[in-house]
Amino acid sequence: MSNHKRIEILKPVGAIALIIAASSIACLAQTRPNIVMIMADDLGQRDLPVYGNTFNEAPNIDKLATQGLLFANAYAAPVCSPTRASIQSGQYPARVGIFDFIPGHWRPYEEVTVPHHEVQHLPDDITTIGDTLQAAGYKTGYFGKWHLGTKPEHLPDARGYHKAHMYAGGGFYSPKFVPEYKVPEDKRLSEVLTDMGVDFIRKNKREPFFLFVSHYDVHVQLDADRDLINKYLKKEKN
């Protein structure tokens, strides 16, 4: 019998609920839990062994699942910017006003078009989960893909995160960041982001922290190290 606990999520957490939860946590003083959120762009639920995939391997995610919860029913936005806007705000993407990736697929002569975004960034009046946890006394960090605006006033370090490095292109093997971050030559993007997260935890382990690591793998471009590619090419297909 599986040790996994299962929980059904019927609707996203609202912004008010986020504020109440964080305020309640603030009252607990030294008992406030540390929070680590890891997001993998374009990773489908059925890509993971814990949800029944018998070909892919994800031993570390398997381990996390045995120690926590598996979501069995949840709403999801189909593309990146609406998903991120929803997570940061605790609101549905339509309420935030972001329906497609920023800048979007706007094609004015198509018979069916997507709505215009009112703004091409997370709206300024949104209180983010980072803002809320900062107000509750947390040290907050954000590393990786943001895709909610590129001007300085729209970046993570202006939207509730004490420490942030936004991925700004360059590919998996020569990533660039804003603010600038010196990347070791022998590390790919996923390793660099993980290292950023580990460093943040080490520096802030004596106080409550909220860490958001936003991975770009397995989003296109679909790059991988040669030994990993060969492993799966040789693996028996189900």
Mean pLDDT of the chain: 85
Domain coordinates in residue numbering, the chain: 5-234
pLDDT reading at 180 higher than 90 = yes
Question: What pTM did the predictor assign?
Answer: 0.83
End-to-end CA distance of the chain: 23
Nearest in space to 126 (alpha carbons), one of 219, 7, 15: 15
Query: What order of strands is seen across the sheet that includes strand 209-215?
Result: 35-40, 209-215, 139-144, 163-167, 177-178
Q: What is the pLDDT of residues 136-160, one digit of tens each?
A: 999 999 999 999 999 999 999 999 9
- What's the rounded Cα separation, in Å, for the pair 71 and 49? 14
- Categorize the per-residue pLDDT at 118 as very low, low, confident or very high, splitting at 50, 70 and 90: confident
Q: What is the pLDDT of residues 58-109, one digit of tens each?
A: 999 999 899 888 888 877 777 889 999 999 999 999 899 998 999 887 787 8
Residue 230, token pair as written in the block: 């060969």
pLDDT reading at 29 higher than 80 = no
Those residues with Cβ within 8 angstroms of residue 11's Cβ, 6 or more apart along the chain or in another chain = 75
Active-site annotation holder among 80, 154, 165, 215: 80
In order of 8, 69, 94, the CA distances from 74 in angstroms are 7, 13, 17
The answer to whether 149 touches 121, Cβ cutoff 8 Å, is: yes
Average pLDDT over residues 7-34: 48
In order of 30, 141, 199, 208, the CA distances from 203 in angstroms are 17, 11, 6, 11
Q: Is 27 a catalytic residue?
A: no
pLDDT reading at 49 higher than 70 = yes
Residue 5: per-residue pLDDT: 45
Active-site annotation holder among 117, 147, 154, 215: 147
Q: Write down the architecture of domain 5-234 according to CATH.
A: 3-Layer(aba) Sandwich (3.40)
> Which residues are 214's β-sheet partners?
39, 144
pLDDT reading at 13 higher than 60 = no
Of 4-8, 39-43, 51-55, minimum mean pLDDT range: 4-8
